[in-house]
Amino acid sequence: MSDPIEILERRLKAVLDREQDTTGLHFFCQIGGNYDDLGIVTLQISGAGRLLLSWRLDDESPDLWSLTLSEDDTRRFIAMLLEHPFWTASPARRPRRDDETNVHFRICDQTVATYKGVQFWSGDFDEFPVLRTLTWRICRIIDRVSEGEIDLDDLQAASA
C-alpha cells in the first residue's frame, strides 16, 4: 500500500500533467489566532478554483473575499505547493515564544480521503526553509486578494 504522502504527490503531479482534473483537492491555510494582534486569517482554495479569504480581527470585524481562479492559476498554485512541499517539514509541537505567529497549512484530496497538514510557529522558519518560502508566497497572495487590507508585513518580513 502506498504512503498517503506519495498518493497526494502523485495526484498533484497528475493534475499538473493534465492527466487528472482538480476535483476534490482542497488547500487550507490559517495564520494567527485570538492571541495575535493580526487576528485570524484563513485562506482556502478548492480544486474547482474557488478561493475564499477571511479575516477576523475581533468578533465585530469579520471580512471576507471570494473569487474564482482560472484553471491555469489553480494549476500554478498546485505547482507552487509541489515546489515548496510543506508536508515534508515536521516542526515539533511547542508553546509560543515571544511574539511568534502560528501558521497552519493543510492539503487534502477528498476523492481518496488523503490529507497532510502541518502547524508551526514563525520561529520555525530557520529550521524549515520550505515553510519560510511558502509562507512568504501565501502572504503575497493574501495581500493581493485583500488589496493590502490584511497587514501581514511582519510575518512576510520574517519569512523573506
Read off the pLDDT of residues 99-156 as tens digits, 9 standing for 90 and up: 899 999 999 999 888 889 999 999 999 999 999 999 999 999 999 999 888 888 777 7
Q: Provide, rounded to the nearest whole percent, the portion of the chain with pLDDT above 90.
A: 67
Please report the beta strands in the chain, taking only residues with DSSP state E, as ranges in sequence order.
Answer: 25-32, 40-46, 50-56, 62-68, 102-109, 114-121
pLDDT surpasses 70 at 28: yes
For the residues 90-104, what does the mean pLDDT come to? Answer: 93
CA distance to 22, 40, 43, 44, 64, per residue, from 68 (Å): 14, 22, 13, 11, 14
pLDDT of res. 57 = 80
**Rounded to two decimals, what is the model's pTM?**
0.90
| Cell numbers standing for residue 17 | 500533467
What pLDDT score does 45 carry?
A: 95
pLDDT confidence band for 88 (50 / 70 / 90): very high
Per-residue pLDDT at 25 exceeds 80: yes
Q: How many CB atoms lie within 10 A of CB 71?
A: 12
Q: How confident is the model at residue 47 (pLDDT cuts 50, 70, 90)?
A: confident
Which residues are bridge partners to 65 per DSSP?
53
> By the 8 A CB rule, do 84 and 103 touch?
no
CA end-to-end span of the chain: 39
Q: Are 103 and 31 in contact (CB under 8 A)?
A: yes
Q: How far apart are CA 2 and CA 95, in angstroms?
A: 33
Name the grid cell of 40. Answer: 485570524
What class is the 4-159 domain? alpha beta
The residue behind cell 505547493 is 81
Fill in the DSSP letter of residue 20.
S
